[in-house]
């Protein structure tokens, strides 16, 4: 195959797509590559709480709609990302206490999911709930609502739209470790209540530092009765990249693809962007970059070739 989406079929191969990049007339390649190479789309930021409900009860969907329209026009599955997360919250959410936050969370979930009903393959209902030690991580939702907030959010989500898959999405859960152990036990309780359909494994990796047991870990979640997906894949390295790191990156991408392919419930793979030019990595991890499959000029990297070959 010559495209990621053709090679990945019947799984989807998606990308995080920013509305600002899709509509940037001075860089038409972003939308061109977004359409040509990918069968899935995740709004990189546009469905997050700070974008969709910047003031309490005031919902703004313009930018999310741009990404949704692009996905629809290009026959892409759309991942809803995300509804309940400690980050990218507007200030007003952080000031609410007790039942006020509970009501705001439920209203947010219901309103956003209702808006996009029929368009979303899967929703990241709760994003990044876990701490490294396998307990729940710090969040205003945990502080104000207690550890039941995840079950509450998923119950509300199921009621709002029972035609979409409900996911929890997290990072550093790709291998077998204390964090993924903790997540798995939560998944088992939620599955018994029919409140969870899938788990997203972000997969923001450092070159040469992948867990060796990704397949084993994905399989144990699948065995718990849920789908799994690689939701935010990138493999970062020190920049400017060395030839050795770029070579290792080709192997790391193939490792992830092979792990997903070996697990029948692995529904798809999403990279967190298209081109290294707009990747979130340099802005978040000092001196790191070159994490994706296309370079700053949209040339296919060696990582693209190894990914296509592994798919």
Binding residues among 180-219 for ligand XIL as defined by CB under 6 A: 202
- Binding residue count for ligand XIL, defined by CB under 6 A: 6
DSSP sequence for 63-81? HHHHHHHHHHHTT-EEEEE
Contact call for residue 234 and ligand XIL (CB under 6 A): no
What's 275's DSSP letter? Answer: B
Nearest distance in Å: CB 17, ligand XIL: 11
Q: Which is nearer to ligand XIL, 9 or 284 (CB)?
A: 284
Binding residues among 256-295 for ligand XIL as defined by CB under 6 A: 280
Nearest distance in Å: CB 170, ligand XIL: 8
Q: Which is nearer to ligand XIL, 64 or 308 (CB)?
A: 64
For CA atoms 281, 283, 284, 287, the dihedral sign is positive
Q: Which residue is nearest to ligand XIL (CB)?
A: 280
Do 34 and 96 meet the contact criterion of CB atoms below 8 Å apart?
A: no
Q: Which is nearer to ligand XIL, 39 or 45 (CB)?
A: 45
Distance CA 128, CA 84 (A): 9
DSSP sequence for 184-231? HHHHHHHHHTT---EEEE--EEETT---TTHHHHHHHHHHTT-EEEEE
Residues identified as active-site: 232
Tokens of 151: 């079950």
In whole angstroms, how far apart are CA 100 and each of 27, 76, 92, 182, 291? 43, 37, 11, 28, 41
* Binding-site string for ligand XIL from residue 21 to residue 60, where x marks contact by CB under 6 A and - marks none: -----------------------xx---------------
Q: Which is nearer to ligand XIL, 44 or 276 (CB)?
A: 44
Binding residues among 77-136 for ligand XIL as defined by CB under 6 A: 127
Kindly list the residues in this chain that would bind ligand XIL in the complex (CB under 6 A).
44-45, 127, 202, 232, 280
């Amino acid at each position: 195959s010559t495209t990621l989406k053709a090679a990945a079929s019947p799984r989807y191969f998606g990308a995080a797509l920013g509305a600002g990049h899709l509509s940037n007339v001075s860089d038409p390649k972003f939308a061109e590559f977004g359409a040509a190479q990918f069968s899935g789309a995740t709004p990189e930021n546009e469905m997050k709480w700070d974008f969709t409900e910047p003031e309490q009860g005031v919902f703004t969907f313009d930018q999310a709609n741009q990404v949704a329209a692009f996905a629809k026009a290009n026959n892409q599955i759309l991942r809803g990302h995300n509804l309940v997360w400690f980050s990218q919250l507007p200030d007003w959410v952080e000031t609410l206490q007790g039942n006020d936050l509970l009501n705001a969370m439920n209203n947010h979930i219901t309103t956003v999911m209702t808006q996009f009903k029929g368009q979303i393959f899967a929703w990241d209902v709760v994003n990044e709930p876990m701490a490294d030690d396998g307990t729940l991580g710090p969040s205003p939702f945990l502080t104000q609502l207690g550890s039941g907030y995840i079950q509450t959010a998923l119950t509300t989500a199921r009621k709002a739209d029972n035609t979409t898959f409900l996911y929890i999405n997290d990072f550093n859960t790709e291998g077998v470790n204390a964090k993924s152990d903790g997540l798995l036990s939560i998944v088992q309780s939620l599955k018994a209540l029919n409140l969870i359909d899938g788990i997203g494994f972000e997969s923001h990796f450092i070159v040469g530092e992948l867990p060796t047991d990704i397949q084993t870990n994905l399989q144990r979640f699948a065995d718990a009765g849920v789908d799994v997906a690689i939701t935010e894949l990138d493999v970062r390295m020190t920049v400017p990249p060395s030839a050795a790191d770029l070579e290792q990156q080709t192997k790391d991408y193939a490792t992830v693809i092979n792990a997903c392919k070996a697990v029948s419930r692995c529904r798809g793979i999403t990279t967190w962007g298209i081109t290294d030019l707009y990747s979130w990595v340099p802005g978040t991890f000092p001196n790191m970059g070159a994490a994706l499959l296309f370079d700053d000029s949209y040339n296919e990297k060696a990582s693209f070739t190894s990914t296509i070959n592994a798919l």
